[in-house]
Amino acid sequence: MRVLVADDEKLSRVSLISMLEESERDISIAGEATNGEDLLNALSKMQPDVAFVDIRMPKMNGLEAIERGRKLSPHTQWVILSGFSEFDYARKALSLGAFMYLLKPLGMEELGAVLDSLFTKIDQTYQRLDDEFEHYILAALNNGQSPGLAEFVSEARYTKYKVLLIATDTHAFPGQMEQAKRCLYSAIQEAVSGWSSLTCRVAIFTLTSGETAVAMCWQEGEPKDDLQMEVMTDSIYHRINRLTDQRIAYTQVDSSIYTNIGGMLAGLQDIRRLLPLRAVIGINHRFSLEELQKQPPAAAHMGLVMTKLVDDYHHHLYMDYCRELEEITTLLRTEQHSKQQIKHMRSFIQYGMNDSTELETVELTTLLTRHADKLLTDKKKLEGEPPDMISEVIYSIEQHYASNISIAQLAERLRITPNYLSSTFHKKTGTTFTKYLTRLRIHRAKELLSTTNLPVKDIALQVGYYSTRHFVKLFIESEGCYPTEYKKQARL
C-alpha cells in the first residue's frame, strides 16, 4: 500500500510515518506534502493508494484539496486528520468520499484497525479495476470495439502494455481438462499476486479459442518498472512449467511492450495467428512474439495444418482429419523439414492424440494414418444418437461407406422422402450425398494405397466399389492420376 502524508506540521508527519512503519504491514511512503498545493502535485505524480490529509493546511485546506484531488487520483482512499472534533468538517469530508475522519493524536491500536480496513478496501478496488480492464479487452476482441476503454486507460494514464498467451495441448478427458484449467489459473494468480495497484493492471482471461491470456498495463517510471515486469512474466512461466506432465503441455508466448492499448490488442491477435507454430518449433517452451514472426511461412503453414488436424481428431471429424492428413503428407514430401522439426511434430501428436508408442520408429504420415483408422473406430463407440438428422446421415456414411449405402435407404430409415433428404443434405454440407460419399471413399483408398501393399482391385472392394474400372475412373477425376501412380508417389 502506497501512502501519501499531507500535514503542515513536520512533527505530525514524522510521527504518523513512524507509526505506519512500525505497524508491520506492507506499506511504503510514496511522499509527503506540507500544504494543499503540494498535495495536489503529489497526487498527480504518485497516484497513492491512501492519502492521510490534515484538515487545516496553508494555501488550501484538506477538504478543498480532496475535492480537487479526487479528479487527479480518483481511486485514492482519503483519511482526514484533525485536532478538533468538528461535525461539519466530518460531514463534508464523508460527503466527498473520505474513507475515515480521525482525531489527533492517533493511537497505535486505532491506526491498526484503520489500516486493516484500508487494505480490504484497496484490494476490492484493485480487483474491480482489474475486472474492468479484462471486460474492456474482451469487448474489444469480441466486438471490434470497447466503449469506455479509452476513458479507462486515460484516467490512469497507462503508458506500457504487454500480453502473454498460454496454449494448452492435451489428450486429457474433459473432466481432467477442467481441473487442469483451474490449476493453470491458480498458478498465474499466484505469480501476479501483489502486482496490481492504482497504476498497474493485470487481467487473466480465456479466449474463445481456448488459450489463456494475461494482459498487463502500467505507468512508466513506477516502482513496478519494465524489469520487474519481466520478473513477473518469468514467474508465470516457471509456475505453469511445473504443471506439465505426461498428459498436458503448456506453451507461453510473450508480446513486446507497447505504448498503447491498440498495440497490445494487435500483438495479441498476432500471437493467436502464429501460435500454431508451436507444433513445428516445440511445445512446452516459452517464445517471444518476435521469435514467432521470424519463422518462415512454410513452418507457419505446417503448424496451422497440424493444429487443425489435432482439433479435428478431438472433435471426431473424420473427413476434415483426412483432408488435413492429405495436406501434411504433401507438405512433408515437397518441403524440407529438419529432424528437430519432425521431432517437435511427433511431440505435438503425442500430447494432442495420446500416442506415445513407436514414436521414433514409425513414419509420421503412417502414424497419422493409423489415427485416422482409430478415429473411425472410436466414432462407432460414441454413446448417444447424433444431434440432428444430417449428423445422423454423416455418421451412417462414415460407418458404412464400404457397403452398398444409398440415400434412398437412409431416407426410408428416417421416414422422409429421398428428395427432401437430398436437398437438406446439400444445404447443410454444401455438397451432394454422392460427392460426399465418393470423397470419403477416395480418402480411405489413398490411406490404403500409401500404407499397405494391397492390389488396386482389393482396395476398391474395401472402400465400397465392386467395379475396379469405376473406382479407377473416380480416382483419376479426384486426384488427377491413376491409383498405381499415387501409390508410387506416396512411397517416395
Higher pLDDT, 328 or 355: 328
343-371 pLDDT tens trace: 999 999 988 887 665 556 678 888 888 88
For helices 318-334 and 364-381, angle between their N-to-C axes, nearest 10 degrees: 180
Q: Are residues 280 and 340 in the same domain?
A: no
Q: What is the reported pLDDT for 255? A: 96
Average pLDDT over residues 426-453: 88
Q: Are residues 281 and 329 in the same domain?
A: no
Burial of residue 460, with CB atoms counted within 10 A of its CB: 0-12 exposed, 13-18 middle, 19 or more buried: buried
Q: What is the reported pLDDT for 383? A: 42
Q: What is the reported pLDDT for 292? A: 97
d(CA 5, CA 7): 7
Confidence bin at 417 (pLDDT 50/70/90):
confident
Buried b (16+ CB within 10 A) or exposed e, 147-185: eebeebbeebebbbbbbbbbbbbbbbeeeebeebeeebe
Higher pLDDT, 292 or 405: 292
CATH of the domain at 476: 1.10.10.60
d(CA 106, CA 69): 24
Range of the domain at 96: 2-106
Instruction: Using the predicted structure, report yes or no on whether residue 143 has a pLDDT greater than 50.
Output: yes
174-216 pLDDT tens trace: 667 778 888 999 999 999 888 888 778 899 998 888 899 999 9
77-90 pLDDT tens trace: 988 888 776 666 66
Q: What is the reported pLDDT for 157? A: 67
Average pLDDT over residues 149-173: 79
Dihedral, CA atoms, 121, 122, 126, 128, nearest 10 degrees?
20
Instruction: Using the predicted structure, report yes or no on whether residue 294 has a pLDDT greater than 80.
Output: yes
The answer to whether position 118 is within a domain reads no
Q: Are residues 398 and 255 in the same domain?
A: no
Mean pLDDT (the chain, rounded): 85
Q: What is the reported pLDDT for 384? A: 47
Q: Are residues 101 and 144 in the same domain?
A: no
Please check whether residue 411 is in contact with residue 421, taking contact to mean a CB–CB distance below 8 angstroms. yes
Bridge partners of 204, per DSSP, are 214
Domain count, the chain: 3
Share of the chain above pLDDT 70, in %: 89
Average pLDDT over residues 371-390: 66
Q: Are residues 323 and 472 in the same domain?
A: yes
The answer to whether position 449 is within a domain reads yes
Please check whether residue 401 is in contact with residue 463, taking contact to mean a CB–CB distance below 8 angstroms. yes
Q: Are residues 445 and 352 in the same domain?
A: yes
Q: Are residues 43 and 93 in the same domain?
A: yes
